[in-house]
Structure 1
């Protein structure tokens, strides 16, 4: 009796095991079929995407080839020696700078470290991914357009009618002329500028810069990272007139502190301080010629009616004004015309740096 029970139990277990195995096999086979179907769908989708990318790439190549043919085929300015086609370029972004006008904007980069600007890129042409990795560099080059040149429209629309000057006046040469390609004058055959700035931050399609010498609204054509190993040339030679004058101060910050200390005191003469502010405005606008003899060499007037004072420190001419409340505002800084460059006998900071602490 007991053996019969064991036989029935064993048969039941075998039947149950066979049924579970059959069910497991059925589920596994069903899943395998589903996975195979999904793999085929994914492979089909991938192939479709690859074909689409290849078609888009071929379309871009054909469009670029057509553009080059159209550019070459269009009428070009006649040249005796060269047959040079023109290449249309559009800005990729606009600079939002702290300098609203050309007046007061530094003539060279990094002279004013706190001068900040935000370069906003055209998101339709420059996706944010284009800026990935730029924040790892400390500085970058910026290629831009001198958009405030008065002859810009004539230069581009009617180049044959534009009066390009081969030589320009150089401030450091006291009005002396040099070939435009030996200077950094903004008035060039192709009004394109090159500057370097410090990379402060990258956010989306915006780039925060400092130490800029760009006026607000400047169109930007391209940016490139600054590479010290190839962009900084050891032993580079420049003319004597380019070299900065010898100074008794070790850095621009130290010179700035000197200016603040000097202008914190009212350095005007007694007659200048006692003259009412309204009269100063009249003198500045040329309405009070009878009092013109009271003005000395440290002040002059502007057409705007402001009276501008001058403070010359360490060879730098600081133009400033004082409002009715006695607040001092520096308007412009440039090298004084009284400077004699290349004077080896003039004292400088390097001669005294071991003595100064």
Structure 2
């Protein structure tokens, strides 16, 4: 009997202890919940304060941008009539990078993108303006748009330094119209109200701050303003119409291209010096580039009409065509066919390629010479990109 009473007492004691433990555990849990609730309210208040601060900063930036645009739009330009004031809107804009292209000069650079698939260039972005993360995802697109500045235009100084004297040419001569004129905004002429170009190119590879492109119509040193992905569903307009004068097939196509033995030999010599900095894998691939570039008559209208009257120019400085006449006097001028006596020069990837073209648009590529500017250049090359893209 006594044992039963002891067992009952022990059981009662254990039950009491369990009850007390449960009460204490419940109280601890409630206190913890109260602390967590308090912490959550503190974090919510902190987050709300941070959001308010961010919104205030955003409103401040918007006001600052509006003030800047207002100040720029109120910039006055002086005129002879002091009673009249002219307000010109301007926008702060600077290049984000530069083009390293196979085309050293304007002469020979395609007039449109994608017509020379082998034409390659590297866009090197400025790390201080564009972080590498900004290019993430670009390699998933096949093509992209490049907005850039026509920096070799001969009228830029007048346009920017003395805009009052810079008058827009409403019409420009169009190569496909054989000298006929068309409204400048109905053409792709580089001489525009603002010297801004738009070009599409194939994205071959992306590496850090650099983009390898092909099918370009960009000259070396071109300042880049922006890069945007090409979207086929919106950028490729089905059923888009063009004028009849643009539909002329083969208007600027050449009849044939022949490479002389001398050119092949001299190209081999040049290649020994430029291969480490070239965007091309071999001399044969470079020769294919030359063929693609010359498959369209790249001469200007004046060169096609009056090749013997074109002044010899140094293409490395002004972008004009470098041409040798070959006439020594008026008697020779009368007896020699100008179209076959003129030697044209094309600067590609550090090599000066010289050729002749006759009246029937047959081209003979005669010589290759190393350009002095090609020596010791530090540029992205085929060796840089070959492991990043398998299509080269």
Kindly tell me the number of residue pairs found equivalent between the two proteins: 297
RMSD: 4.3
Checking the alignment, whether the CA contact within 8 Å between 1:137 and 1:199 is kept in structure 2 is: yes
1:132 is displaced (CA, Å) by: 5.2
1:320 to 349, 358, 365: 365
Structure 2: gaps of 5 or more residues: 80-84, 264-322, 371-392
Q: Provide TM-score, normalisation by structure 1.
A: 0.66
Change (3 A) 1:324 1:240: closer
Residue in structure 2 matched with residue 309 of structure 1 by the alignment: 355
- 1:248–1:141 Cα change, 3 Å: closer
- Confirm or deny that 1:60 pairs with 2:75: no
- The answer to whether residue 76 in structure 2 is matched with residue 75 in structure 1 is yes
Residue deviations 1:48-89 (CA, integer Å, cap 9, x gap): 2201210121012111221222123221477xxx97632224
* Deviating 4+ runs (over 6 angstroms): 246-249, 284-288, 292-296
When the two structures are superposed, what TM-score results if normalisation uses the length of structure 2?
0.61
How far apart, CA to CA, are the structure 2 residues paired with 1:122 and 1:68? 25
Tell me how far apart the structure 1 counterparts of residues 193 and 153 of structure 2 sit (CA, whole Å). 12
2:261 to 263, 266, 271: 266
Does 1 or 2 have the higher relative contact order (CA < 8 Å, sep 6+)? 2
How far apart in 2 are the matches of 1:96 and 1:248? 27
TM-aligned CA deviation for residue 149 of structure 1: 1.3
Residue pair 2:205, 2:213 contacting (<8 A) in 1 also: yes
**CA deviation digits over 1:14-70, x for unaligned, max 9?**
243134324423442343243224313321331122012101210121112212221
- Residue 189 of structure 1 is matched in structure 2 by 193
Does the 8 A contact of 2:325 with 2:342 survive in 1? no
Cα–Cα, structure 1 residues 162 and 247, in superposed 2: closer, same or farther, change >3 Å? Answer: closer
Q: Does 1:217 align with 2:221?
A: yes
CA distance in 2, matches of 1:200, 1:302: 31
- Residue ranges of structure 1 left out of the alignment (5+ in a row): 250-254, 269-283, 326-357
TM-aligned CA distance change 1:286 to 1:118, over 3 Å: closer
1:93 aligns with 2:96: yes
Asked if residue 146 in structure 1 is aligned to residue 147 in structure 2, the reply is no
1:305-325 residue CA offsets vs partner (Å, 9 max, x unmatched): x89332569x76646342599
CA shift for structure 1 position 100: 3.2
Matches within 5 A, 1:287-298: 298=340
